[in-house]
Amino acid sequence: MDRLDCNRSYDCFTGSGIAEEYVAGYILEQYDNKDLGDGNIKVAIISDRQVSGYYYNAFENQFVVRNVKTSLITIEEGEQNKNLSQVNNVIKELTDFGLNANDWIIALGGGAVHDIAAFAAAVYTGRSRYIAVPTTLSSMSETCCSDRAFLNSGSRKNTASAYVSQTAVFIDPKFLSTVPKKYIPNGYAQIIRYALLSDFGLLTELIGISDSTLSDIRVFLNRVYAARAAIDRKNPTLLTLGNELSEAIEGYFRFMNYSEGEALALSLFATVPDDARAALSALYIKLNLPTELKGVSFNAIMNSLKDSYLKGSSSDKPLVCYEKKDGKGSWAILNPSMEEALSILEERLKKITAKSAPIASND
């Protein structure tokens, strides 16, 4: 078992098999002997149906043999289910299970599971401690770095948030073998954003991930976290690069047609300077990421963007753009007017809109 440098105050561990072997032991180490009465510790494990179907029995066994009482709380995976209704259901089950400050909440799953579990842990009055066990590349690259959990509302993304305060993160690379094909790009897209903003070498590492030739996940993730930390130090707002267009794409389809990673990949492809798009296209082909938005008209997405600005949800947000000065290019944070922002986003959208997209739309 190795430690990762996730640039946060909590412990972050990695190693093959650690999720099923070390989480319970870590929890017990946090107590004095006087706290370890028979069945005195409870653990609520929040997961989705697919991940729990693969891993829950083996994951739970480490608690059973140590006489720690567990409860599995299953939720629906996916951005379309990342809402307050699911959090309310989780809190009800936490309450029924009787969790308190002596107990633990564990998120076992991908990004949506972690947002829902972390949000519930943040607002649950039992004040139980929280551990993250990510099972996708996206949650592995984000969970250790994020200090907030986000929820969606209807077709609007990230409309509610809460601060995350996890005690530890356990990253087990063996989980990556069972990630559904549709969700694999989620991790790629987030790391591409880090690469564009801070460390281009991560793009080469991504090819190793896709080919299953990457020899050391620990080294790779440390590099990912270092890139994220460097961006944070420069200006955290840079991490919103591409959000406006990706959120409009996801929201238009109510998070069904394009995954979070596919939508972000499309937006990043539209946002990079023209002379970088050809090279990025070759990488996208290798990683099976989309370069063209299909199934919706240009007008439909533009109307969605306009609606977002007119309702005020985007009107005061800065926009991250690539600018060239004196022959040198860099990412800059702009504060454009609504008209200027929509003009910039319109030009980006043109880069990825299918030439054969229908004029009519359902907006």
CA 324 to chain centre: 30
- CB 254 within 8 Å of CB 237: no
pLDDT of amino acid 36:
53
Q: What is the DSSP string of 31-71?
A: S-GGG--TT--EEEEEEEHHHHHHHHHHHHHHHHTTT-EEE
Kindly report whether the global pTM for this prediction surpasses the value 0.95.
no
d(CA 170, CA 177): 16
d(CA 326, CA 362): 45
For 294, phi then psi, to 5°, come to -125, 160
Low-confidence ranges of the chain (pLDDT < 70): 33-39, 210-215, 313-315, 354-363
- CB 94 within 8 Å of CB 120: yes
pLDDT of amino acid 171:
94
In order of their start, the domains of the chain are: 2-179 (3.40.50.1970), 229-352 (1.20.1090.10)
Closest alpha carbon to 10 in 131, 149, 95, 115: 131
Please list the residues that pair with 163 across neighbouring strands: 148
pLDDT of amino acid 361:
43
d(CA 137, CA 290): 18
189-224 burial code (b ≥16 CB/10 A, e <16):
bbbbbbbbbbbeebbebbeebeeeeeeebbebbbbb
Bin 251: left if φ > 0, else alpha if -120 < ψ < 50, else beta. alpha
**CB proximity list for 207: less than 8 A, separation 6 or greater:** 283, 286, 287
User: How many CB atoms sit inside 10 A of residue 130's CB?
Assistant: 24
pLDDT of amino acid 38:
56
pLDDT of amino acid 65:
94
Sequence letter at residue 186:
N
CA 222 to chain centre: 17
Structure tokens at 78: 């996916």
pLDDT of amino acid 149:
94
pLDDT of amino acid 327:
76
